[in-house]
A and B are shown apart, each in its own frame.
Chain A
Amino acid sequence: MKRRQQGILTGMPFMANITPRTFVDDAGRKLYIAKAPTRVVSLAPSITEMLFALGLDEQIVGVTELCNYPAAALSKPKIGYARPNLESVVALRPDMIVAPQEFLRADLLAKLEELKIPVFLIEAKSVDDVLMQLQSLGKIFNKTKVSDTVTGAMRDRIAGVTKRIMTSKRKRVLYVLNSHPLITVGPGSYIHHMIELAGGINVARHSASAYPRLSLETVLQEDPEVIIFPVGSLESIPKSEQEEWKRWSNLSAVRHRQLREVSSDALNRPGPRVVEGLELLARAIHPEAYLSGEAPHSP
């Protein structure tokens, strides 16, 4: 009896406060953000792209060194990447930091919390995660209309890809992150999920880790029909290294000349351009599905 009273007395006022402007980030941390932030710092290229997609050009006051898209990001103040410079972050007087969960060091996060700068952590394991994050950011910045439009357009394009490759047979795909030694993507990685979504079967699907050193023998046995090389600013397989794969003339991919390059910037960044990456990937895996001109529009 006594206990229930306590609950009513202490819990009610708290719950009245919680509803509209409390957000839970991907690390499960609760953040209360009274009003839409006006000075935001992004700690990842994908996050910068998301914020720009939501039309927050003016609110963005700092980005990482690797943020090169859209062009407006290049003129924003830079704060490093792998080891963001805490002093330059603080000097920008942000009232919000959006950061990738896997790359943000724990000590930096603790320091930012101590300085009472709200940090919203994000981690994308799939395309759906990206859509959800865009929605949450839209709510935080009072841009729900924009986020609805953006995510709606993205959903349409994803549906377009699914429709395109619906009739195609799934193909075995090898995604090369590094050739000597061979490193690829395995289950649990974001690219693995994208490959499956684009109508491919990852030849490293039985690996235990997300970024396994796959044995060459497994590759030869699995016989990939398409080999994909990322090319771009952060991850790139040079032409000479791509040529070396041609010595495995037994592979279906080599026999049928299905060695393809995909822009790693679009593919690796779990941001709004993820649909672009997905389309590039689907086009690389199923070129036949894209021969017949424009995409059929979804009904």
Chain B
Amino acid sequence: MSEAGLVEDAVFRKSTLGVGRWMTVIGILSAVALLLAVLCLQFGAQFVGIKEAVRMLNQMVGAPGGSESDVSTMATILLHVRLPRVVLGFLVGSCLAAVGVALQALLRNPLADPYVLGVSSGAALGVSIAVLFGVGTTALTVTALPICGFIGSLVALVVLYRMAASYDRLPIYSVLLAGVILNAICSALIMFITSIMDPSRSFGMMTWLMGSLTAPTYPTLLVFSLYALVCLGLLFRQVKVLNIMAFGEEAARSLGIDTECAKRHIFLVSALATGAVVSVSGMVGFIGMVVPHAVRLIVGADHRLVMPASALIGGTFLMVTDTFARTVVSPSELPVGIMTALVGGPFFVYLLVWRKDRMS
């Protein structure tokens, strides 16, 4: 590790990233995320002010002996519907953004995103197959579905990489094309599964595929948080390698980095994160592409800062869009996948058409 440290020092001798700057940026972003989380908690089918929320919490703490039916409806809404959903939204958003950063660096492609590249579709296919064979109705659901999603997205990633790596250096457009093809194949297979499935279950499947967050039970949230935090931790550990890989594999190899091992590691973690995310939220698109770009515009290209900042902003972004999704047409809700795609789609076009000079 010390060798890698030396290498990194050599590469980033002139890097302006000091501990102070890192702390400032992450501190500000965390504060903003926390502030917005509190704001998001207030909005819903009915607005709950902070004062009221605090008063309710006090009441509950003051009278812990009361039976559950005594707890007011508003408290249940806050603690069991909104809070787990806001937390889930944050974790899903962070994972997607972090995976986006990793894939963009690894494939050296600014348009890489688990959704665009078909990795999400692969995960969705894995989960669909699991549901078809009845995994979705057992006690294993919470732990098993992310694994099935992981297998699906891993297969998708490996196929994607093999298709695109037939060239020496991965050209941006061939990676995108490979993603388009993967998406097409996976969605055809998913449609096949939903059409042979029991019609009573295919309906639920279609709504899940649209990408939506629901209020998870706390055990479910706990299991998912474990998946998400482990993946985020493992991705954060790779930031230095990503920095060097961004110069190209040749350069990285000449600097003494085991690129194959690093790639395998990052692919595995990305697939696991995508699988877990898709199993709880379906296909939420474009966060992995939009957020890292925005972050790089603000803080520069150093992955040591881009990775955690993207995770924070990605989480905040999904948390806020989900708040819109559940309040805009109240008392009904919109699938949050629609909102993120409406924001992300135009941004994708912008990058593709007006910023192509920067991509080559």
Chain B residues closer than 8 Å to A214, beta-carbon distance: 331-333
Most B-side CB within 10 Å, residue of A180, A218, A241:
A180
Verify A250–B76 contact, CB threshold 8 A: yes
Chain B residues closer than 8 Å to A238, beta-carbon distance: 137
Choose from A213, A234, A249, A255 the contact partner of B333 (Cβ within 8 Å). Answer: A213
Which residue on chain B has the smallest CB distance to residue A83? B195
Verify A250–B71 contact, CB threshold 8 A: yes
Choose from B45, B68, B138, B217 the contact partner of A250 (Cβ within 8 Å). Answer: B68
Verify B45–A215 contact, CB threshold 8 A: yes
Verify A249–B207 contact, CB threshold 8 A: no
B166 interface residue per 8 A CB criterion: no
Q: Report the minimum CB–CB distance from B326 to chain A (whole Å).
A: 6
Choose from A183, A213, A215 the contact partner of B44 (Cβ within 8 Å). Answer: A215
Chain A residues closer than 8 Å to B76, beta-carbon distance: 220, 248, 250
Verify A216–B215 contact, CB threshold 8 A: yes
Known: A180-B204, A180-B208, A235-B200. A218 touches B331 (CB 8 A): yes
Verify A236–B200 contact, CB threshold 8 A: yes
A209 interface residue per 8 A CB criterion: yes
Q: How far is the CA of A241 from the CA of B203 in the complex (A)?
A: 14
Interface size on B, residues (CB 8 A): 34
Interface size class of A (residues with CB under 8 A): 35 or more
A178 interface residue per 8 A CB criterion: yes
Verify A250–B333 contact, CB threshold 8 A: no
Q: Which of B188-217 contact A (CB under 8 A)?
A: 198-201, 203-204, 207-208, 212, 214-215, 217
Verify B333–A220 contact, CB threshold 8 A: no
Verify B73–A181 contact, CB threshold 8 A: no
Which residue on chain A has the smallest CB distance to residue B141? A240
Verify A217–B69 contact, CB threshold 8 A: no
Chain A residues closer than 8 Å to B61, beta-carbon distance: none
Q: How far is the CA of A223 from the CA of B77 in the complex (A)?
A: 12
Q: Report the minimum CB–CB distance from B193 to chain A (whole Å).
A: 16
Verify A217–B82 contact, CB threshold 8 A: yes
Chain B residues closer than 8 Å to A223, beta-carbon distance: 73
Verify B332–A217 contact, CB threshold 8 A: no
B46 interface residue per 8 A CB criterion: yes
Against A, the Cβ 8 Å flags (1 = close, 0 = not) of B70-106 are 0101001100111000000000000000000000000
Known: A217-B44, A240-B137. A207 touches B214 (CB 8 A): no
Q: Report the minimum CB–CB distance from B228 to chain A (whole Å).
A: 19
Most B-side CB within 10 Å, residue of A66, A209, A221, A233:
A221
Q: How far is the CA of A213 from the CA of B42 in the complex (A)?
A: 20
Q: How far is the CA of A179 from the CA of B44 in the complex (A)?
A: 19
Verify B203–A181 contact, CB threshold 8 A: no
Q: How far is the CA of A220 from the CA of B73 in the complex (A)?
A: 7
Most A-side CB within 10 Å, residue of B73, B80, B203, B332:
B332
Verify B203–A235 contact, CB threshold 8 A: yes
Verify A218–B330 contact, CB threshold 8 A: yes
Which residue on chain B has the smallest CB distance to residue A66? B199
Known: A249-B69, A255-B69. A215 touches B199 (CB 8 A): no
Known: A207-B331, A217-B46. A178 touches B77 (CB 8 A): no
Verify A215–B214 contact, CB threshold 8 A: no
Choose from A204, A247, A250 the contact partner of B69 (Cβ within 8 Å). Answer: A250
Known: A208-B332, A238-B137. A220 touches B77 (CB 8 A): yes
Interfacial residues, chain A to chain B (CB-CB below 8 A): 66, 177-183, 186, 204, 206-209, 212-218, 220-221, 223, 232-236, 238, 240-241, 244, 247-250, 255
Interfacial residues, chain B to chain A (CB-CB below 8 A): 44-46, 68-69, 71, 73, 76-77, 80-82, 137-138, 198-201, 203-204, 207-208, 212, 214-215, 217, 326, 329-335
What are 28 residue pairs bridging A and B, where the CB atoms are less than 8 Å apart in the complex? A178-B204, A179-B204, A180-B204, A181-B207, A183-B203, A204-B331, A208-B329, A212-B331, A212-B332, A213-B332, A214-B332, A215-B326, A215-B331, A216-B77, A216-B214, A217-B45, A217-B46, A217-B77, A217-B81, A220-B73, A220-B76, A221-B45, A234-B200, A235-B199, A247-B217, A249-B69, A250-B73, A250-B76
11 additional A-B pairs beyond A216-B77, A250-B68, beta carbons within 8 Å, are A213-B207, A217-B82, A218-B331, A220-B81, A221-B45, A221-B46, A221-B77, A223-B73, A234-B199, A234-B200, A248-B76
